[in-house]
Structure formats: structure tokens, C-alpha cells
Amino acid sequence: MQVRTRFAPSPTGYLHVGGARTALFNYLLARKHGGSFVLRVEDTDEARNTAEARAAIFDGLRWLGLDWDEGEGKGGDFGPYNQSERTALYDKWFEVLREKDRVYEDDGAWRFRFERKPVTMNDLICGEVTIDYNNVEINPDMVVRRSDGSYVFHLVNVVDDLEMKITHVIRGEDHLMNTPKHLQLFEAFGVEPPQYAHIPLTLNPNGSKMSKRDEGAKIGDYPRQGFVAPAVVNFLALLGWNPKTDEEIFTMEELVERFSIENVNRSPARFDAEKCAWLNQQHLLQLDPAAFAEAARPFVEGAGLPVTDRYPAAAAAVREKVRLLSEVPDALDFLLADEITIDDDALTKVAKNDAAKDLLGALADAFEALADWSADAAKETIGTTAKANDAKPGQLMFPTRVALSGKGGGPDLGDILAILGKDESVKRLRAMERRL
């Protein structure tokens, strides 16, 4: 049996973390077993559907790398893949229910006649769950067709899974109590249901249910904030799934290989923005310098910084200092800009060093005298200059860093000297000397 999973978003809002995680788990299961991942759209709510929301969902899935096999732009043997175009199929299966006397009219609407018996489902995550349909007051017959002729979620969802030959349904735990209803429909249709796996909800750090308005909920915000897709995928996978090892950094290929429904936790996952940023940093560190520079370029250009010949080396110098690509402009601005701003706290600290002014002047003289400029030679000159002026290297290192970068921290001083070059380094040392 070929594994077939699906993601069925409603285009009434953006792609949020919960939906993206659901899509990812379905994608991973299909890819692990060489199956198909289907994208179908539940677009029957005409009043709330928007083209913008539809595009945002598709763009979010593409950015994450969750490429579907059937659906929007791909076609497939079980289309159409928009519910709004599948009414004839719903009519067909509704007639099956009517022929079997499993539906009846009630004030213009049509209700599905439940079999009055306990229904047990064996959920792949939640285990065995039984709902007793003997109590009519608690579980009344459900409406499957409204008085205006439109069909409700329960019927169309089941028909779509049936017609598209879906074998596994991974969805949020909030759908858990819908499943026994769906199992009764599958039974009435005389077909085997898919296997169900209900994943726990995602909570905020304080334990409250994560809503679409909470921090980190909107997938479309992640690329703008400087996250890279592999890191977000890695983060989403760990929201509920456990590799059963101490490992935390995974590529998509590794997730496909390692993923299993059995290792999905039963308890809710808590969203951790700091963990997501840390994972992003780990994935940035796995990029080679050229790839990192290319990924950061839009943020650097967007900040109005000149992308000069210095840029590749500047980006490489700050790669280990940032967690997000959006942090790159602030980290390397001093390496690209002609004029730098000196941090007030750093300047105050330098000014407390009475010898800083003379030491910086002496270092500028020593740099100008260097015939062959290199990072090693420049750093060695800092040490010899300090020694020649009865100072420790550390007494000159910090003032030099602030003079060159305007900051108290940052990339290795040797990298800064190599990137700025001799003339620019001397120019900045002289400027700081005059300022003290």
C-alpha cells in the first residue's frame, strides 16, 4: 500500500506554526515511505476566503521546502483539489447515504443517522479512544447537509479522504473528537478509513494555547526576521517529535530518515522563540561563507549599506556572531560604511584609559611604517607598540577595537584589520586619537 498523506488548509488566513507543523509531519511521513503528499484546499467558506491568504499559504509551504506531489499547480489523478470544485462528488456520496437510509431531513437540513453503539478508534498517537453513541442527548445525529444545500466539514472531509485514497491523516488534537463521527461515515460508505494520528497542540511559554496573534505564530514573518527555512523546519519538527537522542540539529533529509509517528509526544509542545533563534544560528554556521554572504545580502542592502569588495570577507567575519540574518547589518556596518558611529559606553571606557590617546597615535605611526600589511603583522604590531610604550597589549587592544569598529565587541580584531586594510585602519585610529 502506498502511503498517501494530505494537508488541507482553509484560505481564510496566513499559514501559522500549528498548520505548518501539521503539514511538515504529513510531508515527512509520506517522504519516509516513498509515498505522496497531497495539498488540497478547503475553500468552501466563500465569505472568508481571500486570494492573499491562499497565496500566503502556498508561499509559506514552498519557503519551508514542503513540496507537494498533487494539488495546486501540480495536478494529479484525484482532483480537483479545491473543495469548491468537488460538489458533484459530495452529491454522489450523499446519495449513497440516502439510499442506505443513513440521512434524514430536519427543517430543511439533512442529518446523518448515527449507529447507536460505542465507537473505538485506535489513534497512532493518542492510543485507544472510545465514544459511546448510545446517548442521543450527548451525541445527537449530526447535520451533514445544510438547508441551503451546502455540505458541512465532516462529510466533505471524509469524502475527500476517501476519493483521494488518503492512508494516513495527521492533524491537530483539536480534531480528535471529530474522528469517531468520521469513522461512522466511512463505515456507512462501506470503505476502510485512513489511520489517524492526532498531534498535541502548541502552547505559549506560559502554557496558554498559542493563537494566530501570538509571537512566532505567522510563518510569513520568519524569512523577514532573518530565519532560514531549514532552521524553522528543524524547530517545527521538534515541536512534539522526539528523535530519542540528544541530537537537535537536523536537515530535512535527516528528518525524513528519522521521523516516525511513534516518536511524537503525547503532551503539548511549548513554543520557545529563543530555541528557534538558537537553531537558526546553528544552521547559519553550517553554511559556507559564500552561501552565508548571499543569504544575508538582502538584509545588508535593505539597511542601505554599500555592498563593496569588502562584503564577502565582512560577512564571513560576523557569521559566528549572529543568530538571525537580520542581525548582520548591525554586526558588519562598520566594515562597509565610510563613517562609523562610536558607541557611547565603549567610548567612555576608552576615555578612562589615560594612555589610550598616546597609544593609538603610536599605533597609527607603527601601522604606517609597516611595509607588508597582513592581519598577523598588524596584530603583532599592536603588541610591540604597547610594549614599547610600557603598556600591556590589552591596554591597547580594546581602544584599537573601538577606534576601528565603534563597538566594544565583534569579530576577531585580526579580521577587522585585514578587511579594513592599512589606510582605513590608520585613518580610524587618527580619528579616535583626535577625539580623546
- Phi/psi class of residue 301: alpha, beta or left (left: φ > 0; alpha: ψ in -120 to 50)? alpha
Is 209 catalytic? The answer is no
- Scored b (16 or more CB within 10 A) or e, 89-106 reads bbeebbeebeeeebbeee
Cα–Cα distance for residue pair 425/53, rounded to 1 Å: 51
Do residues 7 and 68 touch, judged by C-beta distance below 8 A? yes
Cα–Cα distance for residue pair 402/398, rounded to 1 Å: 6
Do residues 251 and 194 touch, judged by C-beta distance below 8 A? no
SS3 300: helix
Cα–Cα distance for residue pair 388/382, rounded to 1 Å: 10
Give the residue from 393, 334, 405 showing the smallest Cα distance to 359: 393
Query: Which of the residues 212, 244, 387, 392 is marked catalytic?
Result: 212
Cα–Cα distance for residue pair 246/323, rounded to 1 Å: 21
Beta partners for 249?
A: none
Q: How many residues belong to the chain? A: 436
Do residues 7 and 234 touch, judged by C-beta distance below 8 A? no
Cα–Cα distance for residue pair 214/204, rounded to 1 Å: 8
Provide the annotated active-site residues.
212
